[in-house]
Structure 1
Amino acid sequence: MNNYSPKHRDKPGAGKGLNITWSALDGIYSILFLAAALTGVYFGSARIFIALSDRQLLSANISNISFIVLYGIQVLLMMGIVWFIALHKRKGRIRDLGLKYYSIGKTLWYTLISLIAIFAISLAYVFVMNSVFAIEAPASKIEILIKNRSISNTVLLVVVAFIGPVIEEVFFRGFLYSAFKKNWGVLPALFLSSFLFSLVHLQLYSFVPLLIIGWLLAYIFEKTKSLFPAIFLHGVYNLILILILLGQFEMIKMY
């Protein structure tokens, strides 16, 4: 019997529930494909950059065009997977990914409370890593790009604070979290989607904070059944970080 037949769709007026027609297995296949594709793109691009500049990819010599092209490939891969599996193959609807309206007031409230929690946890984490383990935070890829003026601030802000949050929330929460929850329940889905979200950022030092942020974003999505609060929180958080880094860079230039 076809488990994805129309009779399994939510009835009209059934409430806030989302009708997830794709499965956890779809999510696993998607992650494996994405990992293989991005690995190929990364190392293929690295060979080109090494040949041209004798520097490693993401070593601070990425032009605006190169950055946009590489990020564009990642966006096309992630959104292509979501479209093909969730919308085309499994006949899902855009609203089932969580792309539907949610109260602006409640969104702002979730964002305020979440930002306070995130920055408190992040500061505590950095303090413990520095004081207890004597490990300092390495420069992130974004910090390197800002310090070396490899990419214009406008491009960086648009990608990191606007495009990135939308793409990542649709893929990791709307698509993956929903698939894992459908087959395995809320708690396993919260952990696994957050783990993958943290892992894909390739930042070992920040793995735990990113894991917590991913868990919080998935939890908000679970509570609201809408991606917009998570997208807004994600975007505001990234925007604050970028503005802090840009401010630090300008202060360093002054002195």
Structure 2
Amino acid sequence: MQNIVYWRNFMKEQSWGKIIAATLLGIVGLFSTQIILGFPLLPLFEYNQNLGVLVFVPLVNISVILIAYLIIRYFLKDSPSAYGLKRVSFNWKWVVLVTLLPLIVTAIIAILLGGKLGAIGTNFPFAETFVGGIIYTGFLGSVTEEVIFHALIYSLFRQKLSVWWAALVTAIIFALVHLPNDNANWTITTFSQFFFSAVAIAILFAYITESSDSIWNAAWGHVVWNIMVYFINISPKWQDNFLVNIIISKDVPLISGGEGGLTGSIITPLVCLLGSAAIAWRLKKQRI
């Protein structure tokens, strides 16, 4: 098979100092943007929360993309297109595969734990689903995080490291900034499950980015994953505030995910790492 010319082939090589500095700038920019833009919009959120979300999410996405653009263009003195910041486009094969990912994980959990589909939650907020579940949960973090973690950070580490090591380093950084910051019923076990699942998901998205030569397919997968976590409840008890309830007959938090939901299930990293291995094999064949 012919070698593929990837956008990173056109990047200027950066020093380790600049790679680390640009990584820190990207992470700071990602979080500070939400704080800086969120504060002046508080009156709008208080007036109408849905309207606030509809204004806030596009502003954050545009601002983070602009921050990544400025870091690449003026700090790294390179072309943003060499980092994947180019026209939004999708490969439908990847779109279908990443859309199926959370459904596959859910199906495996249901089979292993004797799950049955329960009734739709009577208190599921249908009126707020579009804004809260899809716009906010789906699109706020997903697009911005893919721009920072895979267009910027992964591309930088990819200059110095192999696909696997660049993906792993990026994934660990991704997981660290996603550590739960609440005081819910988190244990060492559920905390570890959540962390390793986040690492595995980020590794898979890095491999999808590498193989498809686009950050947008992985971004779509990120969007779908976040939305599914918002909609699906997997537990022994029916909960009326979820759209989909998978009622399991055996409560095994290691498999069901417990407080961490789909992201906390051991099935998630296993499926993601198997997917990453399959893509790695495909990449190896393409580059022979």
If the length of structure 2 is used for normalisation, what is the TM-score? 0.53
Partner-residue secondary structure (3-state), 1:206: helix
Q: Which of the numbers 217, 228, 237 marks the counterpart of 2:205?
A: 217
Q: Contact 2:95–2:221 at 8 Å: present in 1 too?
A: yes
Q: Which of the numbers 156, 164, 167 marks the counterpart of 2:141?
A: 164
Following the alignment from structure 1 to structure 2, what is the Cα–Cα distance between the partners of residues 97 and 78? 14
1:76-87 mapped onto 2 (5 Å cutoff) = 78-79=64-65, 81-87=67-73
Following the alignment from structure 1 to structure 2, what is the Cα–Cα distance between the partners of residues 190 and 240? 24
Structure 1 residue runs without a partner (length 5+):
1-13, 46-62, 131-146
Deviations 1:25-47 (A, max 9, x none): 334224445666749x98xx9xx
Q: Contact 2:27–2:148 at 8 Å: present in 1 too?
A: no
Indicate the residue corresponding to 1:202 in structure 2.
179
Do structure 1's residue 155 and structure 2's residue 131 form an aligned pair? yes
1:1-255 mapped onto 2 (5 Å cutoff) = 15-18=5-8, 19-21=10-12, 23=14, 24-33=16-25, 38=31, 78-79=64-65, 81-100=67-86, 104=90, 107-117=91-101, 120=104, 152-156=128-132, 157-203=134-180, 204=191, 205-244=193-232, 248-249=241-242
Following the alignment from structure 1 to structure 2, what is the Cα–Cα distance between the partners of residues 168 and 109? 22
Q: Contact 2:172–2:199 at 8 Å: present in 1 too?
A: yes
Partner-residue secondary structure (3-state), 2:242: helix
Give the count of matched residue pairs: 209
Following the alignment from structure 1 to structure 2, what is the Cα–Cα distance between the partners of residues 89 and 177? 17
Q: Contact 2:142–2:219 at 8 Å: present in 1 too?
A: yes
CA RMSD after TM alignment:
4.8
Following the alignment from structure 1 to structure 2, what is the Cα–Cα distance between the partners of residues 82 and 162? 17
Following the alignment from structure 1 to structure 2, what is the Cα–Cα distance between the partners of residues 161 and 227? 16
Partner-residue secondary structure (3-state), 1:249: coil
Following the alignment from structure 2 to structure 1, what is the Cα–Cα distance between the partners of residues 89 and 51? 37
Partner-residue secondary structure (3-state), 1:226: coil
Residue type of the alignment partner of 1:169:
E
